[in-house]
Structure 1
Amino acid sequence: MTLLIVVVALALLFDYINGFHDAANSISCVVSTKALTPIQAVCWAAFFNGVVLFLAQHSLLGFEFHVADTVAKIVKTEAITLTVILAGLLASIAWNLFTWWYGIPSSSSHTLLGGFAGAAIAKAGFAVLADMGKIYLTLGFIFMAPLLGMLLAMMISIVIANLFRRANPSQADRWFRRTQLVSSAAFSLGHGSNDAQKVMGIISAALLVYAHQQSAGAVLPDWAVVDTVIRGGKQHIAHIPLWVQYSCFAAIALGTLSGGWRIIRTMGTRITKLRPVEGVAADSAGAITLYLTQFFGIPVSTTHTITGSIVGVGAVKRVSAVRWGITRRLLLAWILTIPVTGLLAAIMFHALKSALG
């Protein structure tokens, strides 16, 4: 029980760190164009991160807990222990803090998945990975998510440019500055729906492991019960305890309120210079990408998505408007995230195994 409490506490700590690490994703565009002040922007983003919980609980607008189900099934429940999950969380937290300190907008999502999988592989080998199709799809979206965000942003930018080509520049600027509130809110909904669910999936996996470790016939308390169903010959999560849902969304919202100013500077100013019209296009493209991927249960990176969208709006202006040197360094960090956190998690698993016995 003590180890389970430690795992849950660390999962929520990771969720909080995810909030301020990825706050830049939600607010970098709206801050860099000065549509909102930084404090207003984080409050705006945190509020809409939380709204997602209500939408998902009532299955409104297509928001459901598909991503949590996918993450919980990355590793076979019967083949792992709470020590595996603990090692994965410690590695994920370490890498997130490292990249935040250096202002590198890496993916918290892939940090978590890499850590979770790396610790499990260290214990039981690659056979412990459950749904390889989902894993390959997740890996593929390291590149597909930013590409999709970039293409959508380019399309939206071109459409807007044609629709408003005769508009008064100063009036259009004021109008798009207000419109950015809507596009930023939409992106924050996508951020909350995708990122908080990943931690819900990790806690659900921990609860399923805890249940599996109990003696046959033991009655679990209601707070520890994760309901599952069999569909298509595979186990799926049917219900996650309410305390897990509320605590995960509260943690990411509080993290977002804490800001993430180091990464905001990278996202909002160093990739390309943004105007309100371009901020609307980037946020809208990112929101559409995140909505579609959460609908299909694909745990993508909000960082990758909004970076691709920002590159897209910059490239529409002119190719030289994008600082490609910065972009290449970000791409390298993305590629390294999963193997580095996987290796860290493997090392931590063996250290914990020796320490805990």
Structure 2
Amino acid sequence: MLAVILVALVFDYTNGFHDAANAIATSVSTRALSPRTGLIMAALGNFAGAHLGGQVAKTVGSGIIHPPSGMSGLGIVFAGVVGAIVWNLITWYFGIPSSSSHALVGGLVGASLGAMLFGVDDATVLWGGIVEKVVIPMVASPLVGFTLGGVAMIAIMWIFRKGNPRKLNKGFRYAQTASAAAMSVGHGMQDAAKTMGIVVLALYAGGYQDNTSHIPEWVFWTSSTMLALGTYSGGWRIIRTLGRKVIDLDPPQGFAAETVASGVLFTTSWLGVPISTTHTITSAIMGVGATKRLSAVRWSVAGNILVAWVLTFPAAGAIAVLAYAISRWMF
């Protein structure tokens, strides 16, 4: 049990430094925030947002897999989280913004399928819940982010069409402080909640509680703390990709992208739908940039992100199968 909880918290930490870019990349690239100030804000926002993400935690804990009780169930959760951690580290090393959320789901599914291959017949994958709560939002959230990012940017350009560019940039740099803070809270609501769901799933599989809907208070605090620490450590490779390589952002564009992305995160967290913060902010950035001109978006970089988006689920799942095969003797 302790090993599973520890590996879940390690995932939480890697999630923090892998996805730190989601909250602050645009604000850092437009110089609205210094990198260190941005990371402190992101860490605090993640910590606060974690306590508001209970609905997402319940979805992760009960809507993706149903592990058997006992040691075999703990082994599935352990291998699933290992699969997500390894994929996070691979994509972080290459500076590719991928989804920690989809890596986690893919890892859990892969570990469950691996357990079935090794004769654990009562391991169950809840395919209906995955389609409804993961696959549909996985496709819809980037489309929504891209569309709303474009709409928001067009609205800003029309409203401030007669404004002084220098004064507008200065004003939007201040506004980005608020939008980046909202993005940080939304990230905490989504991503810390996923670790909480994993810990609750482990407690259920280990027989320490009889359902997956109750989240102990200590789980809130440990998950939010680890995510905040990981965020503060920073994911500079991915911050550079989101902040500069996709498009060169100015303060109004950064504000539009962050406002749209945080709105999507708040809404889906309230509905209990786990989505990718990475894909949401990336698609919003591309939608904002496309209003300037289509060539302003570096589509080759966007293509690499898309490839990682497609590969994340099966790659994390395959790694989890291997992790289960190696670690099942422990459980």
Same-fold status (TM-score > 0.5)? yes
Counterpart Cα distance in 2 of 1:155 and 1:131: 36
The counterpart of 1:98, out of the listed 90, 105, 111, is 90
1:165-223 deviations in Å (ceiling 9; x for gaps) = 11111111110000001111111111000000001001000000111xxxxxxxxxxxx
Residue 108 (1) aligns with residue 103 (2) = no
1:183-202 equivalent positions in 2, closer than 5 A: 183-202=179-198
TM-superposition CA deviations, 1:100-119 (whole Å, max 9, x none): 11101111111111111110
Contact 1:28–1:268, Cα closer than 8 Å, also in 2 = yes
Confirm or deny: 8 A CA contact 2:68 2:122 kept in the other structure. no
With over 3 angstroms needed to count, the CA separation of the structure-2 counterparts of 1:301 and 1:116, relative to structure 1, is: same
Any idea what the Cα deviations from partners look like across 1:146-178, whole Å, max 9, x if unmatched? 111111111111111111011111111110000
Query: Match for 2:265: what amino acid?
Result: L
SS in 2 for 1:22: helix
1:266 to 223, 241, 245: 241
* Structure 1 counterpart of 2:36: 39
Answer whether contact 2:68 2:123 (CA < 8 A) is retained: no
**1:267–1:88 distance in 2 versus 1, CA, 3 Å:** same
User: Whole-Å Cα distance in 1 between the matches of residues 229 and 83 of structure 2?
Assistant: 22
One of 222, 234, 237 as aligned partner of 1:247: 222
Residue 324 of structure 2 is matched in structure 1 by 349
Q: 2:269 aligns with which of 286, 294, 307?
A: 294
> Residue 78 of structure 1 aligns to a residue in which SS?
coil
Structure showing greater radius of gyration is 1
- Deviation string for 1:220-257 (max 9, x for gaps)? xxxx446x4xxxxxxx61x2111111000000001110
SS at structure 2 position matched to 1:240: coil
Instruction: Tell me the SS of whatever aligns to 2:291.
Output: helix
Query: Are the counterparts in 2 of residues 67 and 299 from structure 1 also a CA contact under 8 Å?
Result: yes
Partners of 1:168 and 1:276 in 2: how far apart? 14
* Percentage of matched positions with identical amino acids: 42
CA distance in structure 2 between the partners assigned to 1:247 and 1:46 by the alignment:
14
Deviates more, 1:138-147 or 1:248-257: 138-147
- On the 8 A contact 1:225/1:241 being kept in 2, the answer is no
Looking at structure 2, the residues matched to 127 and 332 of structure 1 have their Cα atoms a distance apart, in angstroms, of: 34
Aligned to 1:216: none
Match of 1:71 in 2: 60
> Contact 1:91–1:344 at 8 Å: present in 2 too?
yes
2:253 pairs with 1:278: yes
Given that 1:142 and 1:334 are in contact with CA atoms closer than 8 Å, whether structure 2 keeps it comes out as no
**SS of residue matched to 1:19:** helix
How far does residue 144 in structure 1 lie from its aligned partner after superposition?
Answer: 1.3
Other structure's SS at 1:114 match: helix
Is the CA contact 1:187–1:284 (under 8 Å) kept in the aligned structure 2? yes
Q: Where do 1:1-357 residues align within 5 Å?
A: 4-54=1-51, 56=52, 64-73=53-62, 74-78=64-68, 81-124=73-116, 128-137=123-132, 138-211=134-207, 224-225=208-209, 228=211, 237=213, 239-353=214-328, 355-356=329-330
1:88 maps to amino acid: G
Q: Give the unaligned 5+ runs of structure 1.
A: 57-63, 212-223, 229-235
Q: Tell me: CA distance 1:129–1:324, structure 2 relative to 1, closer, same or farther (3 Å).
A: farther
Which structure 2 segments of 5+ residues have no match?
none
1:11-52 CA-partner distances (Å, limit 9, x unpaired): 001101100000010110000000011000000111111122
TM-score normalised per structure 2: 0.94
The alignment partner of 1:105 has SS state of coil
Separation in 2, partners of 1:243, 1:130: 28
The residue aligned with 1:59 is none
Partners in 2 of 1:344 and 1:25 — Cα distance? 25
Question: Is the 8 Å Cα contact of residues 142 and 301 (structure 1) preserved in structure 2?
Answer: yes
- What TM-score do the two structures reach when normalised by structure 1? 0.87
Q: 1:202 to 1:278 in 2, by over 3 A?
A: same
1:336 aligned partner, one-letter code: L
Counterpart residue type for residue 71 of structure 1: V
Displacement of 1:127: 7.9
Please state whether the residue corresponding to 1:14 is helix, strand or coil.
Answer: helix
